[in-house]
Structure 1
């Protein structure tokens, strides 16, 4: 997966990138090159996005690290070309991240990127939809998402993947407050106990990135889903005993 020599690459990283990515800046530059070339040719990134890859994509996603707890597991739902999961992995080597994506051409790209950037011990690529894998998926501390779906629908996919007292961080735009107000009823049914709109990356990206934080209680996904998961676990246990 080598960038074509005759294809214009992305602009060089802005000064802020060195502060954000630290000693992993070379890997971030390599990722930007792959987005500008391979991801464009495969239809994962629009060619008009290339000139603003750093500000609009890499840095905009990387600053979410400000609000992710230390040493937790993360699932990036609908990861696409790896945003925000790959920048987050580069900034935070303490995290263990799963990139969850249903489309084969995207998971192929993600697997290639993970290998090329040397992230195999930190990042796992899983092909599937959240609603399809949630029963057998190990619950995580944090779910991330960017440009996947409206908040009420996104929460229905992401919240059931969380451990008790976990949180979902959704990168949103100017309509974040409006989306949150419109989704409160749906969030309540999913066992959400708190929600807020955060602004991260001040001084790095302008405007700062807007993140909707959704926090769950003891039963992520709601009581109904918790009972369904427990039932599935019991079935799995019985099947295991029969096989012994």
Structure 2
């Protein structure tokens, strides 16, 4: 049962295997700034008809809700939402795409195998405040180049993390347009083999590649073909799986 204090700001619901729908009374908690849902295996949708009343919601985290199928319509009306994290929700089918909350500063999508992983359909360029972007999992399995030519990333990005993209072969020259990008980390992309000829973003302070076997030699210190493109970066981490 939810506490009857209407000033409630943080709500966490975890390991409620019987929870199939969100409590309608949630609309009364107008001061909620953070919601954390985890391990609610029966939950199929979150706050239908309620979510848009959460005008002060800043952080929404959903983890391991295996039967969650949809996010609420009208996500763009959640104008206070800054951090959206959705991980390990394999049944999730609908995703905001062009209906993103407009003021997101952090977006993390991991292991949501049912959603459309074509980033060019996500309208990311509309997120004028986005700083941190992280993706991983099977729904991005067809990604060959990051970002692809039709995907426009917000120029405000300061951190990108991408992982487990089995077909990723190259980083595209569009990354050069990210003038504020400070951190770029790539993990478990076995086919990654090329960097942009023009080099990486000028402000990059940390470049990390882990378990990307084809890139290990190509980025090795002084000997690798790409070393001249990355040698100026203050922190370069090239870690093979065998080194971990």
Per the normalisation by structure 2, the TM-score is 0.29
> Larger helix proportion, structure 1 or 2?
1
Compare CA radii of gyration and give the structure with the larger one: 2
